[in-house]
Structure 1
Amino acid sequence: MLKDERFKGLTPNSLKRDFIAGLTVSIVAIPLGMAFAVASGVKPEYGLYTTIIAGILVSLFGGSKYQIAGPTGAFIPILLVIVLQYGYEGLLIAGFLAGLMLILMGFFNLGNLIKYIPRSVTIGFTAGIAVIIFSGQIGDFLGIEGLEKKEYFHQNMIQIMQNLDKVNWFSIFTAAIGLAVIIFVPKLFPRIPVLLVAIAIPTIIASVFYPNQVVTIGSAFGGIPQGLPRIHFPEITLEKVLTLWQPAFVIAMLGGIESLLSAVVADGMTGKRHNSNRELVGQGIANMVTPLFGGIPATGAIARTATNIKSGAASPLSGIFQGLIVLITLLLFAPYTAYIPLASLAPILMVVAFNMSEHKSFIHMVKLKTSDSLVLIVTFLLTVFVNLTIAVPIGLLLAMASFIKRMSEVLEIERVIPARLKNNANDEMHKFESTCPQISFFTVEGPLFFGAADKFESVITYHINKRPKVLILKMKHVSIIDATGIANLSSLVRDFHKTGGVTLFSEVNPKVEHMLKISGLYDEIGKKYFFQSSTDAVDYAIGIVDSEKCSLCSRKGSPSCNVYLKGQNIRATIS
């Protein structure tokens, strides 16, 4: 820690700033920690344990100077499904495995790769998560008791519709007060911690005016214990690992994406640079340790990180102070949390869901009516009606397919005709230039990879069906070539060679030439058939064609190409 550059330059003033920032963030983190835990199907104290432990560990070992970690809304759908399918113990194991995966991602320098996940996928599952979070709070908002959390969205909605006759008007009133506080207090009193007030006021009103009329944390969960639990190692077996690795991978991916997005936001606000791979390692350590204390998966929280920066944070100590303050609060005030109505947590999560939905970006992308729109909608619908474990992989596969299709369309193959000088107006020569049967010249532009390799081979094969003597391929603008591209190019060259033809290459991109050498195709073709200049390639081609077999040059009175080139110093130029 002392050698960590993020902690350099600490002064009494910076310590003061970090403490104030940590105190401010803790006021926001406490209600969110409890709300996210309840929404995930576990006890509220588990959210507080996560806030404390993950907040401290990510600040100690992460790669961002201002990152605040803890439970977030993005995890709610996947955590709820895990709890419903595998129980709370299964959630702890999945969180532990996700932490291990994050550490491995960091060690193998995969931090930058996560940034390449398409925006259509991230907006799709984020909007889907927002819908699930919002709809999941309707029951508590309406005060309907006895609802069982279901795995699928439509099951929960049907259950709510079937129990509308059990609406509790005291709960609606309590939730409405909390919602009004969240909407109007920031406008009137911007410096007041609105989330804490949104819990405190409804709690006081419910306790004073209609006690025992609404479901509270005490009546639902038996209250929150004071202090952290003892370390408990979940029973990890091979069978459980094989069962939980997929949801654990989704947790790791979501955690990695959100933490790095949060770090990027922090960089933009401060002008600093985070270390992506170190951030993944820090998040991994936090997610491996947190389950040992009963905590749920955590990641970097964008809103809390922004609050940390706006509150004057100077170093990662602000995140450590935040965790310690939440711990002290838990030790001192845990008994009082029993009076908090669940209806007061519902509007907090509903507002969180609305803010994270990115509804403007969602609508804009749908209006584009492109392949991105399709990826967005499919990912969104799968997230809502199935789950994230299915939505994210399928969304990525669709995005990859769309990318491959677009990249294959980038490849252009154009047949080029050697042009004579402007001062040569021989009509017969012009006819030769446009119809020469012995030389075929093609320029190839774009990536020659598995998505475009078949197009490359089929287009050129079609145009040389009359079997010219020489095939010239100008590959200056072929940016990459993969194994499939090399295989198709090899097939083309070998088939053409079997008919007695010669293939020449001009202006080959150095990276492509390197791949050809590695594959052995370069040596198979022969170094002498590679030219730095297209003009030199054409000159060589003209030198090896048989003018007597040419349908144009063999005509009586028709000049030979060699005669024109050598006798009149006419050189071919390539467009």
Structure 2
Amino acid sequence: MARTRDLWPVREDYRLLPKTWRKDLLAGVTVGIVALPLALGFGVSSGLTAEQGLITAIVAGFLAAVFGGSNVQVSGPTGAMVVVLVPIVASYGAGAIAAVTLLAGLMVMVTGLLRLGKVVSIIPWPVIEGFTLGIACIIFMQQVPLIASADPAAPGVLSSNALIAAAQSLAMADLAHLAWALGAVAIVAASMLIAPRIHPSIPGSLIGIALVAVLAALLPTPLATIGAIPASLPAPSVPAIDPALLGVLLPAAGTVAALAAIESLLSARVAGSMSDTGAFDPDRELVGQGIASVGAALFGGMPATGAIARTSVSLRAGARTRAASIVHALVLLAVVYVAAGPVGMIPLAALAGVLFMTAIRMVRLATVRSILTSTRSDAWIFTITALVTVSFDLIIAVLIGVALAAVVALRGAARTTGVSLEPIRVAHHSELDASITAIRFQGPLFFVSAERVLETVMEVGSVSVVILRLSRLERVDATGAQVLAQIVRALERRGITVLIKGVQDSHSSLFRRVGVLAALRHHKHLFVDFDSALEHARSHVERERVEDPV
């Protein structure tokens, strides 16, 4: 515990609260109102219940605010997590989610305790935006089954692929229900577009949902509603985990944990850049998010992550400390105890309308245009990540995107490796210099560029001495050092004497261990400056001519 003391809450977390409590209170109420329809909608879209989404927003939102590493992060169910949960629910049933949530929360917590926060957060920008676009497309498609039929459990709703689910549900759509549902979506979308223009603090999504709920109560519509919601939180209990299913659920939990870690750290990093509210601790953030998911599992909820949309709303409303996120959770808790009845009357189509608009707003055309017009490689990374996200799996998409970015980066670094064959050009030229070639190395020498370097050096012509100039060599890995040793041995086998000039102190131990220096014909063939190496090379050429005058 002493070694992890900095990963736990401290009084310093609230040092600004005496000055900022009014702003934090207002921000917490504002984001709580905004989070209500999203929590309900993401619960339903996951194949679970609106109640589970609301419980997650309350419990996980509170715990992440207290234990997390960001002063302003707002956590709860998110669209990205919905994308991962839908196939899990389809494969293992809704009953498995609590166990998956518990396991994933423990994994995320351990990741933070092992201080891996900075490792998890290293993801290139095109990859981030690529899977964001993919997530937005999937969230949009996941709402189609909810508006196509009055039965939210109709075939196709829980298909593991959102595109297939949307196509199947449209093919079997109840046209009467679809017409009413599209009307509800239009009302919610119009409210979300118009309300902010009247005043930024007006919750357009909540107004749209209220209008649709009132109309559904007054008119005989076929729209399905959320249904009864308990007027209190359930008692906490440890989810039952079937030992026979543990091996099957662990990979699913690993996927959820990876997404929770990635999304939470990205959200916290973006939040830190939006406002001067203090730096965030990535390791503590993972510990906090792990505790949040474990807490949500104990109350029957779903996995939670940091939510950039809600965090942005909180910041724009004036949030300065984690008290705003705590208030947000308390506002949602008050809804459960005070307004469970009215919330249960909300049509599912209204929630679909909120999530349709959420998906659309996730796509920033200016950002997409910037990436597509930046470099060809970044445009391909962005496009492939988005397509894989929609077609296969979010985590696979991230891994592929990062792998592609790594390959591009390595290729770029390899191109900075320079190797050139140079004839001797000095002020005091000697006829002996025609039998001497200098080979200059510069930049890094590692496994990506090693083969190209070897091929270039082997093109050296018929000379007596080669001087390897290494003073401008930068980073060298084991493969690069082994190639240097291979070059020395290959040239010596051709009867060419190799001299090495300018070995840096940082490279000498590696060269000694790998055998670069041992490959030299004589230990005196190692030089500090070029003039000394050239003088020795000339004496060597002259000695060869004396011994073999022909």
Give me the TM-score of the superposition, normalised by structure 2: 0.89
Question: What is the match of residue 160 of structure 1?
Answer: 169
The answer to whether the aligner puts 1:536 opposite 2:532 as a matched pair is yes
Structure 1 position 152, deviation (Å): 1.6
Question: What is the match of residue 197 of structure 1?
Answer: 207
The answer to whether the aligner puts 1:99 opposite 2:109 as a matched pair is no
Structure 1 position 2, deviation (Å): 6.8
Q: Secondary structure at the match of 1:446?
A: strand
Structure 1 position 344, deviation (Å): 0.8
Structure 2 residue aligned with 1:463, among 445, 460, 465?
A: 460
Q: Secondary structure at the match of 1:320?
A: helix
Question: What is the match of residue 406 of structure 2?
Answer: 400
Structure 1 residue aligned with 2:266, among 258, 261, 266?
A: 261
Structure 1 position 462, deviation (Å): 2.7
Structure 1 residue aligned with 2:415, among 406, 409, 413?
A: 409
Question: What is the match of residue 489 of structure 1?
Answer: 484
CA distance in 2, matches of 1:127, 1:550: 74
Question: What is the match of residue 232 of structure 1?
Answer: 237
CA distance in 1, matches of 2:399, 2:9: 41
Compared with structure 1, are the counterparts of its residues 197 and 501 closer, same or farther at alpha carbon in structure 2 (3 Å cutoff)? same
Which of 1 and 2 has greater Rg? 1
CA distance in 2, matches of 1:549, 1:89: 88
CA contact (8 A) 1:141 1:347 kept: no
Compared with structure 1, are the counterparts of its residues 539 and 432 closer, same or farther at alpha carbon in structure 2 (3 Å cutoff)? closer
Compared with structure 1, are the counterparts of its residues 310 and 190 closer, same or farther at alpha carbon in structure 2 (3 Å cutoff)? closer
Compared with structure 1, are the counterparts of its residues 182 and 9 closer, same or farther at alpha carbon in structure 2 (3 Å cutoff)? closer
Compared with structure 1, are the counterparts of its residues 277 and 144 closer, same or farther at alpha carbon in structure 2 (3 Å cutoff)? same
Structure 2 residue aligned with 1:512, among 504, 507, 510?
A: 507
Question: What is the match of residue 443 of structure 1?
Answer: 440
Q: Secondary structure at the match of 1:406?
A: helix
Question: What is the match of residue 194 of structure 2?
Answer: 184
The answer to whether the aligner puts 1:8 opposite 2:5 as a matched pair is no
Q: Secondary structure at the match of 2:58?
A: helix
CA distance in 2, matches of 1:295, 1:528: 72
Question: What is the match of residue 80 of structure 1?
Answer: 86
Question: What is the match of residue 3 of structure 2?
Answer: none
Moved more, 165-174 or 299-308: 165-174
**Fraction of identical pairs, as percent:** 33
CA distance in 1, matches of 2:294, 2:546: 76
After superposition, give the CA deviation of every residue in 1:318-345 in whole Å (9 maximum; x if it has no partner).
2222212211221121122121011111
CA distance in 1, matches of 2:22, 2:303: 30
Q: Secondary structure at the match of 1:478?
A: strand
Structure 2 residue aligned with 1:292, among 275, 294, 298?
A: 298
Let me know the Cα RMSD of the aligned residues.
Answer: 2.8
Compared with structure 1, are the counterparts of its residues 2 and 85 closer, same or farther at alpha carbon in structure 2 (3 Å cutoff)? closer
Q: Secondary structure at the match of 1:443?
A: strand
Structure 1 position 32, deviation (Å): 0.8
Question: What is the match of residue 382 of structure 1?
Answer: 388
Q: Equivalences for 1:64-79 in 2 at 5 Å?
A: 64-79=70-85
Question: What is the match of residue 5 of structure 2?
Answer: none
- For structure 1, list consecutive stretches of 5 or more residues without a partner in the other structure: 556-575
- For structure 2, list consecutive stretches of 5 or more residues without a partner in the other structure: 1-7
CA distance in 2, matches of 1:336, 1:157: 29
Q: Equivalences for 1:4-153 in 2 at 5 Å?
A: 4-11=11-18, 13-143=19-149, 145=151, 146-149=154-157, 150-153=159-162
Structure 1 position 84, deviation (Å): 0.7
Structure 2 residue aligned with 1:279, among 266, 271, 285?
A: 285
Structure 1 position 250, deviation (Å): 3.1
Structure 1 position 263, deviation (Å): 1.8
Structure 1 position 363, deviation (Å): 4.0
Structure 1 position 157, deviation (Å): 3.3
Structure 1 position 417, deviation (Å): 2.4
Compared with structure 1, are the counterparts of its residues 281 and 471 closer, same or farther at alpha carbon in structure 2 (3 Å cutoff)? farther
Question: What is the match of residue 223 of structure 2?
Answer: 214
CA distance in 2, matches of 1:326, 1:132: 27
Equivalent residue letter for 1:235: A
Equivalent residue letter for 1:531: F
Structure 1 position 510, deviation (Å): 4.1
